[in-house]
Amino acid sequence: MLDTQLLIMDRVYNVIMERVNASIVSYTTAVSAGVLSCYVGLKVYRRQQVKKKALKKREESRKALQDVQRSVAVEITGPTANKRKEILSLTLPQLSQQLTDGQLSAVQVLQAFQEKATAVNDELNCLTEPIPDALVRAQNVDAADQPLGLLHGVPFSIKENYLIKGMVTTMGVTKYLDTPADHEDAVIVQVLMKQGAVPFVKTNIPQTLLSIGCSNPVFGNTLNQVDPTRTPGGSSGGEAALVKGGGSILGFGSDIGGSVRIPAHFCGICGFKPTGQRISGRGLMRGSPVQGVISTPGLMARDVDSLALGMKALLVPDMFQLDPQVVPMPFRQETYEDKKPMRIGYFTSLHSCPPTPSMGRAVTMAKEALEKAGHTLVAFDPPDALRAIVDMALRMLTADSGRTFSTKWLKDEVIDEYLEGQIYLWTMPHYLRKIVGFLLKPFWPRVARSISHRLIGSVYDLWQRLAERETYIEQFVDELNKKNIDLLLCPALGMPACKPEHAGKTLVATAYTLLFNLLNFPAGVVPVTTVTEEDDRLLDDWRGYGNDAFDRSMKETTKGAVGLPVAVQCVALPWQEEKCLRLMKEVETLCPM
């Protein structure tokens, strides 16, 4: 009897415990599902709020630009419209002279460029915001008793990452939309205003400046006027698009791996990056405090003389006083105007990144023109370029495993659609890099090396890489000295303008620009030709480095690029900006577009 009772009690206990356990599991599952649902819901909510914030800013900027557009609108025909066309056709030296002589007023010129810039923006979406008080500044210039400087009354445009007191600098994200700059304007802006120039618009960028495209969730995607299906380049893409469209006569960007030269090449204008600390970078926001790969401000214009005048206007005591870190070296006009024959090194290809057919052809074309003009051209092979780009430059650019971008800039942000794959690659864990690199090495060794390169894991490691960089610079300079070369002619990039969706897949093409940021050499690009039908045909048989993933992306995006501009790159030794500009001017003269 007792055994039967115990058995019944045991069964009852088991039934009860089964129900209790089931309840606990059900409760735990419900709680877990609830927590997960709340987390997902919160993420969705935050994403929606970020999108709303971005769209609100975009709409505010659009309205401000429309207000400017309405305020300067004139009839299509008539004396004012004809005068504006005349103003827009002038080169910077011509415009500056007419403003200084009093033939034109600063207000008159400003309104001509405001009208043109907003019209170009309607087509290309290249502007972010108008700069407040531009009209007041122009009026003050006109009220001056005498010319204020070399750029008296000249309107100029600036990239979105240049700080202007009272204006927001977004870098293509929303988290700083409520924090306008509360300190002084960027030093470059201050110096130019002391020279009588008038800042009037800011231009679009890729999100965090980390792309050779030009798109972000705040201001949207910028188009290339030459071919709207292609990007104007990055990160100074809005600036290049505006200058190409005639909406600015002098623009300012920044360059850490080609961010001035690439957009200039993509759009068919001239772009120039000086040696670091030749002009001031104070007041420019940067995506990351990279060590060893030198970021500098840069200039963009339709012609080389305009770049030279812009440099001359900047290299003055005002800049040297505002930023004592800048080398106090005025512009050497006599070097820029020198007529002596030059001895120039050249190369049409880097072994680690063979360019598509039009790019090498452009260098050959410029080389032959320079030789006919009496200059000496000497073949030059950059030493160990793959090691310089992958093992030094790339490692220093990604030294923090992308943490700066993923935490400071992109945390809780909507990542631009054209940047997502690139960000994933830059933030990939080291163990995964090694696995992917190991699997790809037998098939695509260059891709494997680029992905699996060891990250910088300590201060000691960083110091070793910086020391390695210094040794490489010495090696590079020694090779130049052996051939008595102090100027170089080479491809501007590995390809012509790409499509936005390929910007993150073709970064290998930037080897031609990134190399000279690593070396800290001044460099500029000049358009000399366009992609031809023959270039497009030769692309069918082009295999690049080994027909790997990088090559295939370059080939895919370059196919059908007939008519796109193609530039060459001119390079000089550090602090020889005037020599570099002189070579650029010679190329421009001998190979007119």
Return the pLDDT at 443.
Answer: 81
In a domain, 559, yes or no: no
Active site residue 254: no
Query: So what's the pLDDT on residue 4?
Result: 58
Contact 293, 256 (CB under 8 A): yes
353: its two tokens = 């990144």
Q: What is the pLDDT of residue 162?
A: 98
Residue 366 lies in a domain: yes
Q: Which domain holds residue 486?
A: 339-384+482-553+565-593
- Is the domain of 357 the same as that of 262? no
Name the active-site residue from 57, 116, 159, 202. 159
Q: Quote the pLDDT of residue 118.
A: 98
Helices (H), 232-355: 237-244, 261-267, 304-314, 317-322, 333-336
Final residue before a domain boundary, out of 313, 331, 349: 331
Is 560 inside any structural domain? no
Query: Quick check: 193 and 137 in contact, CB under 8 A?
Result: yes
For β-strands 343-346 and 487-491, DSSP reports them as parallel
Last-in-domain residue among 331, 356, 376: 331
In a domain, 368, yes or no: yes
485-to-340, 469, 476, 479, 547 alpha-carbon distances in Å: 15, 21, 11, 9, 33
CATH of the domain at 358: 3.90.1300.10
305 and 407 belong to one structural domain: no
Annotated binding residues: 209, 235, 256-259
Instruction: With respect to residue 558, please indicate whether it lies within any of the assigned structural domains.
Output: no
Q: Which of 96, 254, 259, 352 is catalytic?
A: 259
What gap in Å lies between CA 156 and CA 150, rounded to an integer? 13
One domain for residues 220 and 102: yes
| List 157, 235, 306, 450, catalytic entry | 235
DSSP string, 21-58: HHHHHHHHHHHHHHHHHHHHHHHHHHHHHHHHHHHHHH
Q: What is the pLDDT of residue 2?
A: 47
Instruction: Examine the fold and report which residue of 473, 494, 528 is the final residue of a domain before the chain moves on.
Output: 473
Asked if residue 526 is part of any domain, the answer here is: yes
Over the chain (593 residues), the average pLDDT of each successive run of 10 is 54 59 59 60 75 94 97 89 96 98 97 98 98 97 96 98 96 92 94 98 95 97 98 98 98 97 98 98 90 94 98 98 98 98 98 96 98 98 93 85 80 90 79 84 85 72 91 98 97 98 95 98 98 98 95 97 98 98 98 94
Q: Are 589 and 514 within one domain?
A: yes
Q: Is 159 an active-site residue?
A: yes
If you search the block for the tokens 């430059």, which residue do you land on? 393
- Give the pair of three-digit tokens for residue 96: 């500056």
Residues 193 and 324 in one domain: yes
Whether residue 375 sits in one domain with residue 289 = no
Q: How many structural domains compose the chain?
A: 3
Residue 100 lies in a domain: yes
185 and 97 together in one domain: yes
The helix (H) or strand (E) run that includes residue 298 is strand 296-301
* Residues annotated within a binding site for substrate: 209, 235, 256-259
Q: Does 306 participate in catalysis according to the annotation?
A: no
- pTM of the full structure: 0.93
What are residue 394's phi and psi, to 5 degrees?
A: -65, -40
User: Do 288 and 177 sit in the same domain of this protein?
Assistant: yes
Same domain, 15 and 36: yes
Q: What is the pLDDT of residue 39?
A: 54
| Same domain for 248 and 137 | yes
Helix (H, G, I), strand (E, B), or coil: what is residue 255? strand
Residues 395 and 503 reside in one and the same domain: no
Angle of CA points 337, 342, 346, to nearest 5° = 125
One domain, residues 379 and 392: no
Distance CA 29, CA 11 (A): 26
